[in-house]
Structure 1
Amino acid sequence: MEILIKASQFILSLSLLIVLHELGHFIPAKLFKTRVEKFYLFFDYKFSLLKKKVGETVYGIGWIPLGGYVKISGMIDESMDTEQMKQPAQPWEFRSKPAWQRLIIMLGGVFVNFVLGIFIYIMLMYSYGERYLPNDNLKDGVWVQDSLAMNLGLQTGDKILSVDGQKVKKFSGLSLEFINGNNFEIEREGKIIDKKIPTDFISQLMDRGKDAGPFIYPRFPFVIGKISEDSPNVGSALQEKDIVTSVNGTLLKYYDEAENVLSKYKGQEVTATVIREKQEKEITLKITNEGKLGVVFTTLPLSDLEKLGYYDLANIEYSFAEAIPAGWNKSWKTLTDYVKQLKKIFNPSTGAYKGLGGFISIGSIFPDEWSAESFWNITAFLSIMLGFMNLLPIPALDGGHVVFTLWEMITGKKPGDKFLEYAQLVGFVLLIALLLFANGNDIFRLLK
């Protein structure tokens, strides 16, 4: 059922983005009296799931869910209809239109993607606002227990101040900042220390496995998740969800302090203070000869930690006027972060190519329970990502057509049809290779 919910959200989001992107081409084409022969969601090689002709355009749904397209008369596109190009140009064809009109038609899809992403982020800011843990709020620093964080030279209690000279605003954004960054600054025992992020940091991050979780955490209180069957505290007053805050009068604010505190009382009985249902209680506990309680630790949601006074979460509400710049800023950051990641993917030494994913990876980022906020957040991100990818100067993408049209506008010389055919073919091969590699990565990760 979880897979079905994820897949349904993915298909819905993808379909929405494809249809609106193609509308971005369709509408200016019709405004400039250019004939549109087909408007398709997904590709219809050999046959269609649904199709209906309205006027001069066939609208349909294909069976290959790799995208969609509009087939514009007199244009060399993914259909590779070269026969039409051998005929004399007609007034309604794309090739007969002025270069500036062709440029607008080609940029229409990208324009819609960017505008849609910005609009969704604005509406999300207006509807939900922002709620997050400010990085400045980690007064006692971070919890380091992952080998990757240790290899970076981090220690529990370090305060991460900035990445590449930019102050980190949200703790939840730290992982992404490290992925995109080259160096960072920490405060340790009052001293400011500069550290370098290894070139292959992304590779190390990927090698941890898909279930490894974050490489760095906020510091959590000592919350009892489960009492082990062989624990000396089975049958004691200790209960699951208790929060241990002191042992024999020694303050135990965070779980990462437990080992040092408990090791002082190996094999002894101690008096511990616990918080249970918002009330403090004193109970007697037994410490094993190894300095353990015989329990399994668990974490708490940040909202619960806020109620306990550990952290203050930022909770920002926006009026519609305030949501506009906030949505714009989030869109811009989404785009710039994506560009930084793309640059690292094309640098083999970073190992970022290991993280390149296809449909399985994209589908997996949707939650396994329906959440309108999450769905629209992911859709906005995908819209901006799709807009940028289509701007890349690769033949077979909008960006490739734009480059050829700009060349014509600057030089006054239009590339030959034969050149455009070969360029389209090369671009198509490149895209298929990239698609196979990305989805191959997905399959490889599933088999690991």
Structure 2
Amino acid sequence: MSPILIKTIQFFLSLSLLIVLHELGHFIPAKIFKTRVEKFYLFFDVKFSLFKKKIGETVYGIGWLPLGGYVKIAGMIDESMDTEAMKEEPKEWEFRSKPAWQRLIIMVGGVTVNFILALVIYIGLAYAYGDEYIPADSLKDGVHVVEKSIGDKIGIQTGDKILAVDGEKVEDFDAVLMEIINGNTLTIERDGRVFDEEIPVDFIATLIDDMDRARFLGPRIPFVIGEVSPESLNKDAGLEKADEVVAIGGQKIEYFDQVKPILEEYKGKEVDLTVVRDNEVRKIIPVVINDSAQIGVRPGLLSMKEMEKRGLLRVETIKYSFLESIPAGIDKGVDTLTGYLKQLKKIFNPDTGAYKGVGGFAAIGGLFPDSWNWSVFWGTTAFLSIMLAVLNLLPIPALDGGHVMFLLYEMVTGRKPSDKFLEYAQMVGFFLLLALIVFANGNDLYRWLTK
């Protein structure tokens, strides 16, 4: 099956699940408070539906426009903009006839379900898979700064150890990049000296401007040959896949990042490589270094198990019982929410340039892997559930947060905004949302065209 098709299936499966459960969060309290629900839709049914069936007083259906979904609650000014019904006298089963506290519960029901769903998924993942991570402080000789120009921007060099971001110890090395993106201050250890570096406010923009180089940090790895290029000058020199180069011209090397400066000394010349084969046999192999200071091989990788065996890093594996998985999953959910709020804060600060990274459907679809992996699928779905909940709480008319904002105003002041005001607010909110959708998907298109 095509990788693009696999991504697409995962995207629509996740999106459909989130939309249905979100709308169910509105539907259930509406029914509890005896409020009539006229429609329950997955996706939007502009002009026509792919499927619809009326059961009781509610029409259930699937629209053709996959921009979300909705429940149409009688007596409520929503995206349907059914203003004619609002001109009639309020009826006891309408939304507008219910006490403000009941309307508030109905409106926050969707995001509540999204938050609960994310926690349930994270608890399930903790129980089913546990946690496996590389402790950031376990890297024997620090990090490899793959892209020096990006590392220089935040003052980090190959061999440094990253101790903390904003004073909080970094536990998981795989989370270091996201911690840096969300952070303001980096604590580094270099040659036994500990110091802080300010993370530039526009650092996110630096990564967004060159996404191919965004993952600029990695663990330091040995120089293992992954493949000898058929066009290489050294294709017949005797190098083999999985050979580990441990010396060049007699100069000992431990890590791949030490290779380039040495090869620069031998451009256009012949030099002896010392390689270890099958973890025991040492061979001296003469090779020619081309004018670009390259041997003509693609580097390979050691497994995490082999890296751990050599003492280069440590892999922590934590298994949880069912009871232990509950606090572990909740902690994961809280950490994810906190991280996303930090990202959102930077997006709303123009100085960071983070708005350039706002993405639409293509960006969301890109979060899913191109091969089926249930743990990644559910982890991504949990993250999207939190994202959907947070975005829905933004105080924009047409979103749940806009309705909540007006309801809180009513509960505090005792004055209900007029239906005409709510109609105009809904229209403004709709156009704001449309602009955001165009902007986000425009960013996707721009990145694709300039890739």
Pairwise TM-score range, normalised by the shorter structure: over 0.9
- 2:18 is matched with 17
**Is 1:338 the counterpart of 2:340 in the alignment?**
yes
**Is 1:49 the counterpart of 2:50 in the alignment?**
yes
How far off its partner does 1:269 sit?
5.4
Q: What's the CA shift string for 1:382-441, capped at 9, x where partnerless?
A: 001111111111111111111111121122111111111111111111111101100000
Segments of structure 2 that go 5 or more residues without pairing to the other structure are: none
Q: What's the CA shift string for 1:212-267, capped at 9, x where partnerless?
A: 35111111110112224565643344201212234577542211122455677885
Q: What's the CA shift string for 1:137-179, capped at 9, x where partnerless?
A: 1120111131211222221101111111111111111111111
- 1:285 is matched with 285
In structure 2, what is the Cα distance between the partners aligned to 1:320 and 1:405? 39
- 1:254 is matched with 255
Structure 2 CA distance for partners of 1:230 and 1:105, relative to 1, 3 Å = closer
Q: What's the CA shift string for 1:345-399, capped at 9, x where partnerless?
A: 1111111011000000000110001110010000000001111111111111111
Mapped contact 1:140–1:157 kept (Cα < 8 A): yes
Q: What's the CA shift string for 1:78-130, capped at 9, x where partnerless?
A: 11111111000001101111111111111110110000001100100010011
Per the alignment, in what secondary structure is the counterpart of residue 15 of structure 1? helix
Letter aligned with residue 43 of structure 2: F
Per the alignment, in what secondary structure is the counterpart of residue 284 of structure 2? strand
Mapped contact 1:143–1:218 kept (Cα < 8 A): yes
- 2:209 is matched with 207
In structure 2, what is the Cα distance between the partners aligned to 1:262 and 1:43? 60
- 2:400 is matched with 398
- 2:195 is matched with 193
Mapped contact 2:153–2:200 kept (Cα < 8 A): no
- 2:235 is matched with 234
Q: How many residues align?
A: 445
Structure 2 CA distance for partners of 1:262 and 1:442, relative to 1, 3 Å = closer
In structure 1, what is the Cα distance between the partners aligned to 2:176 and 2:289? 38
Q: After superposition, where does 1:105-254 map in structure 2 within 5 Å? A: 105-146=106-147, 147-209=149-211, 211-229=212-230, 231=232, 233-246=234-247, 251-254=252-255
- 1:351 is matched with 353
Mapped contact 1:139–1:159 kept (Cα < 8 A): no
In structure 1, what is the Cα distance between the partners aligned to 2:10 and 2:333? 21
- 1:445 is matched with 447
Mapped contact 2:108–2:400 kept (Cα < 8 A): yes
Per the alignment, in what secondary structure is the counterpart of residue 306 of structure 1? helix
Letter aligned with residue 221 of structure 2: F
In structure 2, what is the Cα distance between the partners aligned to 1:376 and 1:388? 18
Per the alignment, in what secondary structure is the counterpart of residue 213 of structure 2? coil
- 1:371 is matched with 373
- 1:415 is matched with 417
How far off its partner does 1:303 sit?
4.2
In structure 1, what is the Cα distance between the partners aligned to 2:229 and 2:48? 60
Mapped contact 2:53–2:59 kept (Cα < 8 A): yes
- 1:297 is matched with 299
TM-score normalised by length of structure 2: 0.94
**Is 1:316 the counterpart of 2:318 in the alignment?**
yes
> Percent identical across equivalent pairs?
60
How far off its partner does 1:294 sit?
3.9
Per the alignment, in what secondary structure is the counterpart of residue 75 of structure 1? coil
Per the alignment, in what secondary structure is the counterpart of residue 65 of structure 2? strand
In structure 2, what is the Cα distance between the partners aligned to 1:185 and 1:71? 51
Q: What's the CA shift string for 1:47-76, capped at 9, x where partnerless?
A: 100000000000000011000000000001
Mapped contact 2:140–2:311 kept (Cα < 8 A): no
- 1:82 is matched with 83
Correspondent of 2:382 among 374, 380, 385: 380
How far off its partner does 1:198 sit?
1.0
Mapped contact 1:238–1:283 kept (Cα < 8 A): no
How far off its partner does 1:186 sit?
0.6
- 1:38 is matched with 39
Structure 2 CA distance for partners of 1:289 and 1:324, relative to 1, 3 Å = closer
How far off its partner does 1:196 sit?
1.1
In structure 1, what is the Cα distance between the partners aligned to 2:183 and 2:350? 16
TM-score normalised by length of structure 1: 0.95
Mapped contact 2:237–2:287 kept (Cα < 8 A): no
Which stretch shifts more, 160-169 or 144-153? Answer: 144-153
- 2:391 is matched with 389
Structure 2 CA distance for partners of 1:411 and 1:244, relative to 1, 3 Å = same
In structure 2, what is the Cα distance between the partners aligned to 1:88 and 1:300? 73
Letter aligned with residue 176 of structure 2: L
How far off its partner does 1:271 sit?
6.3
In structure 2, what is the Cα distance between the partners aligned to 1:62 and 1:150? 50
In structure 1, what is the Cα distance between the partners aligned to 2:273 and 2:437? 61
Which stretch shifts more, 101-110 or 240-249? Answer: 240-249
Give the CA RMSD over aligned residues. Answer: 1.9
Letter aligned with residue 100 of structure 1: W
Mapped contact 1:245–1:275 kept (Cα < 8 A): no
Which stretch shifts more, 288-297 or 438-447? Answer: 288-297
Mapped contact 1:237–1:284 kept (Cα < 8 A): no
Structure 2 CA distance for partners of 1:390 and 1:124, relative to 1, 3 Å = same
Structure 2 CA distance for partners of 1:247 and 1:280, relative to 1, 3 Å = farther
Which stretch shifts more, 287-296 or 59-68? Answer: 287-296
Structure 2 CA distance for partners of 1:115 and 1:327, relative to 1, 3 Å = same
Per the alignment, in what secondary structure is the counterpart of residue 284 of structure 1? strand
Segments of structure 1 that go 5 or more residues without pairing to the other structure are: none
